[in-house]
Structure 1
Amino acid sequence: MDISEIERPKTKEELVYEQLKELILHSGIPVNTFLSQRTLAAKVDAAVITVRAALRQLENDGLVENIPHWGVRVPEETPATLEDRYRVRRLFEVEASREIVKRRSQIDPSDLLKIASQCDRIDLDPDGDLNAFGDLHYRLHREIVDLAGSPLMSRMYERINLKKLFFWNALRTWKDASTRHIGDHREFVEGLFSAPEEAVVKMLEQHINRGLEYELRMLNSQDTL
């Protein structure tokens, strides 16, 4: 076996990050409630310094807010904030797709096709790993923006913390069989490198709008419980 294929042991910070992310995504930490780092450390049985390092990554992901003198909280999501985040995502990704279509003869699509296939494989698996899908789904769409060839666009896309959107998208849509198992990511990437520009934009907008529709449905159903 190639030594590169051997998975290295996870650090304590990585393990605590995963524990806290699980708590956040499965309502183990109350939304919009400030908690001290000491309280969170007790929840996951770890040192405060380890929790602090994990929280920095969670803050980068957009899953928590760290407010000086108050503590850490999971920000509340509303239909308005969700729609706004999807609106910004649509602006970036549609423009990026148009640029890729113009330059696609110069772009090797093999890595993007591989990521798309991995997304579909997890998405179509009834026992697929939700966290793995959230990570891969974000990576796929982030790579689309990167391939547009604009470093500024890539930096801005990363800065608006859309990774949070992809985590919650996976969690909300996988709760309902009618909003799961779509498996259309490779189909879109293939179209990105072969279909006319307007057809590519239409496919992308349908993909993004469907995600928003499903999430709003699940968010509203949670509010009525």
Structure 2
Amino acid sequence: MLTRTEQCANQLRGNILQGRFAPGEVLSQRQLARELGCSPIVVRESLRMLENQGLVENVPKWGTRIVPFDVDRLKGLFLVREALEGMAARLVCSRRAAVDFAPLLTQAQALDRLFAKPPADAGQLATEHYVFHSAIDGLCGCTELVETLARVNLQQLFLASTQLVDFARVRQPSRWHLQLVQALAGSDPEAAERAMREHVRKGLEDIAVAAPPPPVAGRSGTTTSPTRRQALTPLVEAGS
């Protein structure tokens, strides 16, 4: 059973990934406590958990804020992910005899259909993609690698989602995700790693293609950007 702090952290993580906060937005712990129906102490502990996951950061004299978007950081996460997830793919292929690939094949086919006709909610597609890759990582048999990739992929999911990407502009090869799973289930671990590395590099290219143009500076020199703050859903008390 989740603790109150874990429940709060999960709720805040979901709100962050759904774009209910703007990148760089400073968070009021008292306001979050009121909106989520929990104590400021629980909120503070939850934010520490999210800081460890790379979604928020503590800024001296300012407090806790949502991690601001940084294109160089996003590129760096893709580089790290390419190396680590390439190794995960190699490990999955190496232990293929012990892996049930049927669920992955189903997820891959569903993702390929989503990319062929992207939903209006880009966050849905990004989340499904995150779940798919997390499932692959979880099959590699290395706990340390799985935990590290979970943190990297979560940060990448958030930073990519802040770009408000238009996946309708992305053109992926037919059966792109299905082919990746087939490589993982094949007999060549090196080929599986190459396939994953190519897959991750294509992801970075897709973000570059689907991202909106930079914000336009106004007369005052400030830039305009969408307002993303929305009301938060209060936590449900355990047992209620």
Correspondence for 1:179 among 162, 170, 179: 170
Would you say the 8 A contact 1:169–1:211 is kept in 2? no
1:162 paired to 2:181: no
Q: What 5-or-longer segments of structure 1 have no aligned partner? A: 1-10
Which residue of structure 1 lines up, in the alignment, with residue 108 of structure 2? Answer: 116
**Change beyond 3 A, Cα 1:95–1:212:** same
**Change beyond 3 A, Cα 1:19–1:151:** closer
**Change beyond 3 A, Cα 1:129–1:67:** same
Which residue of structure 2 lines up, in the alignment, with residue 38 of structure 1? Answer: 30
Measure, in 2, the Cα distance between the counterparts of 1:173 and 1:67: 25
Give CA deviations for 1:36-76 in whole Å, capped at 9, x if unaligned: 1234567xx55463993875775566433355874331212
What is the 5 A alignment of 1:135-146? 135-146=127-138
What is the 5 A alignment of 1:55-74? 59=51, 62-66=54-58, 70-74=62-66
| Amino acid across the alignment from 2:18 | E
Instruction: Pick 1 or 2: higher relative contact order, CA cutoff 8 A, min separation 6.
Output: 2
- TM-score normalised by structure 2 residue count: 0.66
Would you say the 8 A contact 1:37–1:71 is kept in 2? no
Stretch moving more, 85-94 or 58-67: 58-67
1:49 paired to 2:63: no
Paired residues, number: 208
How far the C-alpha of 1:148 sits from its partner, in A, is: 1.7
When you count helix as a share of all residues, which structure comes out higher?
A: 1
What's the secondary structure of 1:72's corresponding residue?
strand
- TM-score normalised by structure 1 residue count: 0.70
How far the C-alpha of 1:196 sits from its partner, in A, is: 3.5
Which residue of structure 2 lines up, in the alignment, with residue 205 of structure 1? Answer: 197
What's the secondary structure of 1:127's corresponding residue?
coil
**Change beyond 3 A, Cα 1:140–1:23:** closer
Which residue of structure 1 lines up, in the alignment, with residue 237 of structure 2? Answer: none
**Change beyond 3 A, Cα 1:32–1:129:** closer
What is the 5 A alignment of 1:55-94? 59=51, 62-66=54-58, 70-94=62-86
How far the C-alpha of 1:150 sits from its partner, in A, is: 1.3
Stretch moving more, 85-94 or 125-134: 125-134
Which residue of structure 1 lines up, in the alignment, with residue 220 of structure 2? Answer: none
**Change beyond 3 A, Cα 1:37–1:111:** same
Measure, in 2, the Cα distance between the counterparts of 1:174 and 1:120: 17
Which residue of structure 1 lines up, in the alignment, with residue 3 of structure 2? Answer: none
Correspondence for 1:97 among 84, 89, 98: 89
| Amino acid across the alignment from 2:119 | D
Correspondence for 2:185 among 189, 193, 198: 193
What's the secondary structure of 2:95's corresponding residue?
helix
